[in-house]
Amino acid sequence: MKKFFSLLLTGVMSVMLLAGCGNTANDSSPASSSTPSAGAEERSITIAQSANFSMGFAPGVQSYEATYYMNNFYEGLVEYRDGEYLPCLATDWVSSDDGLTYTFRLRGGKWSDGVEVTASDFVYAWQRLADPATGSVYAPLLSIVSGYAEAQASGDMSLLAVSAKSSTTLVVTLTGHYDWFLREVCTSIATMPLRQDVVQRLKQEADAANDNLKEDETPRRWWSDPTRLVTNGPYTASAEDENALTLTENTAYGKKLTGPEDLTFCFGDTQTAEVLYDQGVVDAVWPLTEEEMAEQMEADETWQAEPVLETYSVMFNCSRLEDESIRKALSLVIDREQLTAMAGITAQPAEGLVPPGVPEDNADLDFRACGGSLLDNDPESYADRCQDAVDLMQNAGYDRGSDLSAELGALEYLYVDQGSNKTVAMALCGMWGHYLGVNVTPRAVTSAELASAMRSGNYTLAGMSVSAVCSDAECFLMDWTTGNRDNFLHYENSAYDTLMSIIAGAEDGSARMGCLHDAEDLLLEIDCAISPLYTVGTAWKLRDTYLGAIRDPRGWFDFRGVYPKPVTVQ
């Protein structure tokens, strides 16, 4: 019996975690591991975290939080590790002469009930992912697949250009030359396969149970009980309740499992996690508390949190705030240094919409570092920026904002009241009122209310974390094209649309990157359709007696390869 590991992961997170075959791997231990040794004895240690598991354990689920452990359950087409594409379920793949059609040959893996994984399982999973009825935040991953827009508009998922040529041959046709298709789409948790017969059976059982639901009971969903799912990855769920989830080795996996045979995750808070780690009960913690990250920074001036692929931003409804000079004025008086101080120890003033951590054409380079800062965050020039904002307002015919309020009515800034968002909202509205005389009322709404208002255009100003479903600059910029279903800015610019079209068809990596930088500059500096505020980071630690934990740039963890660090005998 292999050693039974548990790894502690804690805290509330806003980006996607856990990857399957799609890891950009790093086996080195993260931040700090100076707490007591785990020892060599056989033991059970727990994985605890406070994510919302109620959203389900299946590819294509609705929320980012529900994907944290998908890589332990499922396996996808391709693995991207150390800059190379490696086979997972796909033994090999070829692209057509025009580079638009990919054909994958599958190796014939097994589901946990012994049934063979087929190309049709991928077709079903991808169609379900693209279906608006699923409501998945990962659906835009497939926006580059031919027929996606038509399928979403009509509800006919057969229009999506994904097909099973045979049980072992999957064919996908794209709308352009997306060099991140293999790296980001084919390695994603959301595009892993699903068994249609199992989903349908579990749906029927859930519907039958809900027919007799008591008033105080939560409705069942087909994925509510992970122990009922069939999986094709290294683990299956063997036990689950409101406090813990236990994963056991999938004996039908077909590959040698080098790490723990069992993983147990229990749900708790970061403070409790630190106590358990200090006591030697657990061997990994994520994320670290604000206090510990502050200690890390104080102890090592070179220490940095790992980037999170999101940028908290002010969203302008361009169909209401049509004059870019007004949007520019509102952006100029924002003191990002002040807001960043409210947003936590890892927050940094935004320098663009694309955050740090997103690669340039060369994976060794960073898109943000190569593009430089598009936003002036120098405290010494803040007074000048505020005067420039006043001048812009006056030139546009608005006297300290009074006429703007009369024209547009009462102005509100919508935000979701979590974390530091309320404090930031109050400060923002104060800046707009003080420097421009524009009276904006902050109003807290639910996540669902914010999404509805932004999609319908029933808002003027809002705060939102702009994240991407993959680690590529194009994924932060592609939503803002004219007519895009996810264009919450309601921004229209034919020049921007042309740039994004060129990017989609670009075969030269350097030219593509140049156009991406131009597109970001047009969106932010010229049209000021959005005003990025700050980026955030995260940190984690694995006890130095263990190796093999992986966190890829998208934030997904993989613990299947964790093993005890060899002990050197003196």
Give the per-residue pLDDT at 459: 97
Look at residue 146 and tell me whether its pLDDT is greater than 50: yes
Output phi, psi for 480, to 5 deg.
-95, 15
Q: Which of 427, 309, 428, 398 is CA-nearest to residue 17?
A: 309
CB contact at 8 A, 336 and 531: no
Give the per-residue pLDDT at 163: 98
Look at residue 375 and tell me whether its pLDDT is greater than 90: yes
Helix (H, G, I), strand (E, B) or coil at 238: strand
**How many Å is the maximal CA-CA distance in the chain?**
80
Q: How confident is the model at residue 65 (pLDDT cuts 50, 70, 90)?
A: low
Output phi, psi for 495, to 5 deg.
-65, -40
Query: What value does the mean pLDDT take over residues 106-118?
Result: 94
Q: How confident is the model at residue 124 (pLDDT cuts 50, 70, 90)?
A: very high
Query: What value does the mean pLDDT take over residues 441-447?
Result: 96
Look at residue 516 and tell me whether its pLDDT is greater than 90: yes
Give the per-residue pLDDT at 212: 84
CB contact at 8 A, 71 and 18: yes
Give the per-residue pLDDT at 20: 30
Name which residue leads in pLDDT, 273 or 178. 178
The residue type of 447 is: S
Look at residue 14 and tell me whether its pLDDT is greater than 80: no
Look at residue 226 and tell me whether its pLDDT is greater than 80: yes
**Interatomic CA distance for residues 28 and 548, integer angstroms:** 7
Candidate from 46-60, 246-260, 419-433 with smallest mean pLDDT: 46-60
325 alpha carbon, distance to own chain's centre: 32
Name which residue leads in pLDDT, 295 or 43. 295
Give the per-residue pLDDT at 267: 72
Average pLDDT, the chain: 85
Helix (H, G, I), strand (E, B) or coil at 335: coil
pLDDT digits over 536-565, tens only? 998 888 888 888 888 877 777 787 888 888
- CB neighbours of 41 closer than 8 A, spacing ≥ 6? none
How many C-beta atoms lie closer than 10 Å to residue 380's C-beta? 6
Give the per-residue pLDDT at 61: 57
Name which residue leads in pLDDT, 19 or 64. 64
Q: How confident is the model at residue 17 (pLDDT cuts 50, 70, 90)?
A: very low
Name which residue leads in pLDDT, 543 or 75. 75
Give the per-residue pLDDT at 54: 47
DSSP code of 53? G
Give the per-residue pLDDT at 565: 83
Look at residue 6 and tell me whether its pLDDT is greater than 50: no
Query: What value does the mean pLDDT take over residues 462-469?
Result: 94
Query: What value does the mean pLDDT take over residues 233-258?
Result: 86
Look at residue 46 and tell me whether its pLDDT is greater than 60: no
- Its pTM stands at 0.85
Three-class SS string for 144-188? HECCHHHHHHHCCHHHCCEEEEECCEEEEEECCCCCCHHHHHCCC
Give the per-residue pLDDT at 128: 95
Give the per-residue pLDDT at 266: 67
Look at residue 222 and tell me whether its pLDDT is greater than 80: yes
List beta partners, residue 172. Answer: 102, 162
Peptide bond into 287 cis (omega under 30): yes
pLDDT digits over 268-289, tens only? 788 887 887 888 777 878 888 8
Q: How confident is the model at residue 116 (pLDDT cuts 50, 70, 90)?
A: very high
CB contact at 8 A, 272 and 48: yes
Candidate from 104-118, 223-237, 253-267 with smallest mean pLDDT: 253-267
CB-based burial label for 176 (10 Å; 0-12, 13-18, 19+): middle
Look at residue 21 and tell me whether its pLDDT is greater than 80: no
